[in-house]
Structure 1
Amino acid sequence: MVTVLALAAALAYGVADFLGGTVTRGSTAIRALTWCVPIGLAVVLVAALLTGGDVSPGPMAWGFVAGLCGGGGLIAFYRALARGPMSVVAPVSALAAAVIPVAVGVAQGERLDASVLLGVLLCLVAIGLVSMEAGGVGEPAAGAAKRRRLLDSGPVMAGLSGSCFGVFFVLLKEAGDGTGLWPIVGARLGNLAIVAVALLFLAARGGNAGPKLSGRTLIVLALLSGSLDAGANVLYFLAVHNGMLSLAAVLTSLYPAITVLLARVAYSERLRAVQRVGMAVAVAGVALVTVG
C-alpha cells in the first residue's frame, strides 16, 4: 500500500510542479502561489471534512510547522523554476528532499529488507543522475553581484527548496495519523501564512509581486497545480503513515521523472544521456521496492 500511495503522490507532485512552472514563466513565483495555495487549502479542507477525524491542537501544530517549511520550499522552488530549466530544477530539489527523511528514518531505527534497501538506494542514485546538469559558460561577473547571482540561481534555490521539502516530509510523519487529514489542513494553513508574510515583506519594501496572472489558461493551470499539490500532500501523508518514512519519502521524491518528461514534451527540454540512465535506474529501483 505504501508503494502505491507514494508513487501516486510522486505522479501528482510531478504534474503539479510542471503546471506551476508553466504559470511561473508567465508571471512570478509569488503570484503563482497566491492562486495555488488557497485552492490547495480548500481541497484539503473539503477532504478533511468528508473523511472525519478530530481536530487536535498537537497534530495541527505539527502540520502548521510543516506547512511553514513547505511554504518556504514552494517559494524557493517556483523561483528556481523561473531561473532554470524544469529538467534540472525539479530533480535537484527532489534529491535534497529525499536525503533528509532517509537520514532521519535511519537515525530513528528504520530497517529495510535487503531488496527494498537496494531499491531505495537505486532511487536515490536515479534522482542524482536525473539532476546532473551540463556544464556551461556563463557571463563574466565579479564580487558581490556574482555571489548574489549564484545564491539566487536555479540549482541553489532548488537545493534550498528540497531541504525545506525534506523537513516537511519528516514533520508530517511526526504529526501522527489519528486525527484524519486535519494535520494536512494545518500544513496548508502554514503554506498560506508563508505566502502572506512574503507579500507583506514585498509591500514593506515598496516592491510588488510582479505581473498579475492574466488569461484563463494560466489561471486554470494555477488552480489545477494547487489542487494536485494538495492531493499529493494527502497521498504522501497516507503513505508515510502506512509505512516507513525513508521508503515513503524516497518513492514520493521520484516526482521529477514526471516533471522532466512533461517538460521534454511541452518545451523540448532535451534529456541528456545520463538523465535517460537515471530514468532507467528509477524504474529498476521502484521494481525492487515493489517486489520487496
Structure 2
Amino acid sequence: MIALLLALGSSLAYGCADFLGGLGARRAHVLRTVMIAAPASLVVELLLWPFLGASFGAAALGWGAASGVASAAAFALLYKTLAIGPMNVLSPVTALMSAMLPVGVGLLQGERLGVAGLVGLPLALAAVVLVSAGHGSGAVRPSRTALRLALGAGAAIALQLVFLHQAPSDSGVAPLIIGRAVSSAVTLGAAGLMFRRLGSERPSCAMSVSAGVLDSVANLLFLLAARSGDLAVVAVITALYPAGTVLLARSVLAERIHRGQIVGLGTAVAAVSLLALT
C-alpha cells in the first residue's frame, strides 16, 4: 500500500510537471525551458541530501549517470512533444511507452503478481490507452512528428526509471543527485552548442522552475516506491500521470476530454483499487 501511494504521488507530480514544462516550451525553444528546469531539480535533490542521506558508491554513480542521460533526453523530447500538442493525446502516448519497458523488466527480473495484480496491471495499461483514445469531431489530430517525439520521450522516460530502479537500495538520493547533475550538464552543453539556434524568446521562469521542482519530487517518490514495491506495479501506476496533464489541459487550455478518456479515468481508478490488493 505504501508503494502504491508513493507511485500515485509520483504520477500526480509528473503530470503537473509535464503540463507546466510543455506550456513553458510553447513560449521559447525547448532547451531554454530545460536549462532552467533541470538545475532547479538538482537544487531540490541537494536540499534533500541531509534528510535522506546519500551513498556515492560505484553502482549508484553508474546507474545515476545513466538515468541522467536518459532524463536529459526525456526532458527535451517530452517538453517539445507537449509544446506541439495536443497535450491530451500525446501525453498518454508517451506514458504508455514509459510503462511497457519497466513492466517488462520487472517481470523478467522475477517479480510475481497475485490474482488482483494480474487483473489490475493490464487494466492499468488499458486505462493509459483509453485516456488517449478517440478523436471527436473538431479535435486536433497530432502530427507524425509529434507522435514520433512522444514515442521517443516515452522510451527515454522508461530507461530513466529502469536505471533508477537498478541503483542500490541503500544509496539514498545519490542516484537522483548524480542523475540530475549529469542531465543538467548535458542540457547546458547542448544549449551551448546550439546557442545561435535558441532564438531570443525566453520561457516563463516560474513555469520552468516549477516543472523542474515537481519533476524532482516525482523522481524521488518513484525511487521510494520502487524500493518498497514491485517495479512492474509501480511503473504502471506512475504511468497514469497523463490523467493530471489531461485535466490541467482541459481546465487551463480548454482542450477537449473525449468519452474514451473519461472511461479511461474510471478504468484507472478500478486498476489502482485492484493493485492496492496485491
Q: TM-score with structure 1 length normalisation? A: 0.89
The alpha-carbon deviation at position 41 of structure 1 amounts to: 0.4
Q: CA deviation at 1:190?
A: 2.3
Shift of 1:53: 3.1
**1:29 deviation in Å?**
1.1
Describe the superposition over 1:183-218 as per-residue Cα deviations: whole angstroms up to 9, x where unpaired.
110110121132123213314xxx32133426xxx2
Structure-1 residue corresponding to 2:197: 208
Instruction: Please tell me whether the aligned partners of residues 23 and 83 of structure 2 are also in contact (alpha carbons under 8 angstroms).
Output: no
Contact in 2 for aligned 1:88/1:155 (Cα 8 Å) = no
- Supply the distance in 1 between the matched residues of 2:118 and 2:154 (Cα, whole angstroms): 22
Partner of 1:145: none
The aligned counterpart of 2:40 is 39
1:15-164 matches, cutoff 5 A: 15-132=16-133, 134=135, 150=144, 153-164=145-156
- Equivalent AA in structure 2 for residue 198 of structure 1: A
Which moved further from structure 2: 255-264 or 46-55? 46-55
**What CA distance in whole angstroms lies between the structure 2 residues aligned with 1:43 and 1:62?**
20
Q: Is the Cα–Cα contact under 8 Å of residues 82 and 154 in structure 1 kept in the other structure? A: no
Q: SS state of the match for residue 291, structure 1?
A: coil
Counterpart residue number, 2:241: 255
Structure 1 gap ranges (5+): 138-148
Contact 1:28 1:82 in 2 (8 A): no
Q: What residue in structure 2 maps to residue 243 of structure 1?
A: 229
| Contact 1:67/1:191, CA 8 A, preserved across alignment | yes
Contact 1:120 1:289 in 2 (8 A): yes
2:265 paired with 1:279: yes
Distance 1:134 1:169 in 2: 30
CA drift at 1:123: 0.8
**How many residue pairs align between the two structures?**
273
CA distances 1:223-266 after superposition (whole Å, capped 9, x unpaired): 11110100111000000011111111111111000000010010
Distance change (3 Å), C-alpha of 1:20 and 1:126 = same
Deviation at 1:270, TM superposition (A): 0.3
Match of 2:54, SS state, is coil
| CA drift at 1:135 | 8.3
Query: Runs of at least 4 residues of structure 1 off by over 4 A?
Result: none
Amino acid in structure 2 at the alignment position of 1:32: T
Contact kept in structure 2, 1:257 and 1:279, CA below 8 Å: yes
Cα distance per residue 1:8-42 (max 9 Å; x no partner): 00011111111111111122211111110001001
Amino acid at match of 1:188: R
Q: Distance in 2 between matches of 1:105 and 1:210?
A: 42
Give the unaligned 5+ runs of structure 2: none
AA in 1 matched with 2:277: V
Alpha-carbon distance in structure 2 between the residues aligned to 1:133 and 1:30? 31
Offset at residue 62 of structure 1 (A): 0.6
Q: Distance in 2 between matches of 1:77 and 1:289?
A: 28
User: In angstroms, what is the RMSD of aligned CA positions?
Assistant: 1.7
Cα deviations by residue, 1:47-106 (Å, 9 ceiling, x for unpaired): 123322322232122111111012101111111112121101211110000000011111
Q: Secondary structure at the match of 1:68?
A: helix
Identity %: 36
Aligned to 1:5: 6
State the SS of the aligned residue for 2:194.
helix
Distance 1:154 1:181 in 2: 33
Q: Secondary structure at the match of 1:159?
A: helix
Verify the 8 A CA contact 2:59 2:168 in the aligned structure 1.
no
State the SS of the aligned residue for 1:269: coil
